[in-house]
Chain A
Amino acid sequence: MANPTNLKYTEEHEWLLVDGDNATVGITAYAAEKLGDVVYVELPKVGAAITAGTVVGEIESTKSVGELYAPVTGTVTEVNDAVVSSPELVNEDPFGAGWLIKVSFADVPALLDADAYTALTGE
């Protein structure tokens, strides 16, 4: 699956849809594919303060456990309840219905564009 050019990316295989000082966050198709079928997602609570680079959630497949790293320092404003009850959304629509959290942040972090992320994964 091509990495959408309207998104920003991290080296930890997260994507961000940045809108001013808010962003929607998910994991990339590449990350979902590597994990296999996602069967359990644990996300931070709304209102939680998160620090860029720290683990704030878990994405488990039958085979392994992936960690969700905070891509920015800020506050969780919304979590995707649909993906908690239907974790398969992460595989079915990683860049859409499989989004994980929304965050607000003060400082614009350094992020990769789609070309740089595609080069990183070699796909």
Chain B
Amino acid sequence: MSDSPRYSPLHAVHEALGASFTDFAGFMMPVRYDSDLAEHHAVRTAAGIFDISHMAEISVTGPEAGAFLDYALAGKLSAINIGQAKYSLLLNEAGGIIDDLVVYRLGEQHWLVVANAGNRFPAVEALNHRTTGFDVNVKDESDATALIAVQGPNALEILKHTVGLELAAEAAERPEPTLEALKYYWSLPATFLGNPALIGRTGYTGEDGFELYVDVQHAAVLWNSLMAAGESRGLVPTGLACRDTLRLEAGMPLYGHELNLTTAPVQAGLGKVVALSKEGDFVGRAASEKGVSADAPVLVGLVGEGKRAARADYEIYSGENKVGVVTSGALSPTLEYPIAMAFVDPSVSELGTVVDVDIRGTRLPYTVTALPLYSRKKN
């Protein structure tokens, strides 16, 4: 791996906004602009704009692209409609998770696979390796693609008022041809100042919102145009610190914390993402059908009292027995009590079970609680 940091196409924009930066998967990305708590609350009550250009975009095209994805990934991607998106997993032969992905179908023979920044190269390598025998083309377009997320209850109004952002002519042929009508996990083709863009009603915050894909050379102008439309609508730039607390409240897994090469999807509550009912073989099928042992740890939500947060890698006890480990945790900015996700022994996984988390030498009670720990009120 190269040691020199990589920069988002929006780096100069973030510097001008006074961002603090952190190394995320080799990229210097904004961790916060001012207050991570204020940024968190802005997404829950108004809107936030995230630069997530570090994420990886991989196009999959060709006559057998659908069949290839059905073999290479855990889901049945050939079955989704043009414009639809689907959360999926890239498994290894042992049924472990190489990456979790969002896959958009953009055309009859065109899909877009969005991978985590830290898994870009393993994902591209695995996909390329699996092309044998398929008439398909896998192309890593990450370096040419910027990704901006606008998340929060005001996101729709902001996009509608963004100068230069228009739906493409083909959008009129879609079942939901407007941003208002666009359903969660669907997308529309768009243009920004005449250049191709893609708008997905997707996100990683638990709020309504959109993700916009655009060529890197247009990223800064799009960011500024979105900011201008958001100025009167409560939009603030938001960094990775609040992105993490937002996704944690929404019960969304983060690769490297809740997901990894040795964890089976079923342990993380993602059993349904693995389409065992689809015909034909796929990588990880045999291991997934075999399942995991009855005592394999399972992912649960945890809720504590007071203000002391259980954090990643803290150990969990039932009496004197170690029964698990925390994978993510924080004092929830929205709920104002400590929340966590953790892998625990099935014997303590039932909702309502009280376990002790060792918080730097002090054991504090946490209650097993259903995920997600926060859900937005839907209209």
Contacts and interface: CB of A to CB of B under 8 A. Distances in A.
Interface in A56-76: 58, 60-63, 65
Interface string B287-324: 00000000000000000000111010000000000000
Nearest to A33: B20
A56 to B, nearest CB: 13
A37 B37 contact: yes
Given A37-B35, A37-B36, A62 B330 contact: yes
B331 to A, nearest CB: 5
Contacts of A61: 36
B32 A65 contact: no
Contacts, number: 41
A104 interface: no
Contacts of B307: 39-40, 60
A39 B333 CA distance: 9
A90 B32 CA distance: 17
A37 B34 CA distance: 9
Q: What range describes how many residues of A lie at the interface?
A: 10 to 19
A91 interface: yes
- With most chain B CB atoms within 10 A of its CB, the pick from A42, A60, A62 is A62
Which secondary structure dominates chain B's binding surface? mixed
Q: What range describes how many residues of B lie at the interface?
A: 20 to 34
Contacts of A42: 308
Contact of A65 (B35, B40, B245, B360): B360
B331 A62 contact: yes
B253 to A, nearest CB: 18
A36 interface: yes
Given A63-B36, A63-B241, 10 more contacts: A36-B31, A37-B37, A42-B308, A60-B309, A62-B241, A62-B245, A62-B333, A63-B31, A65-B311, A91-B35
Interface of B: 20, 31-32, 35-38, 40, 241-242, 244-245, 307-309, 311, 330-331, 333, 360
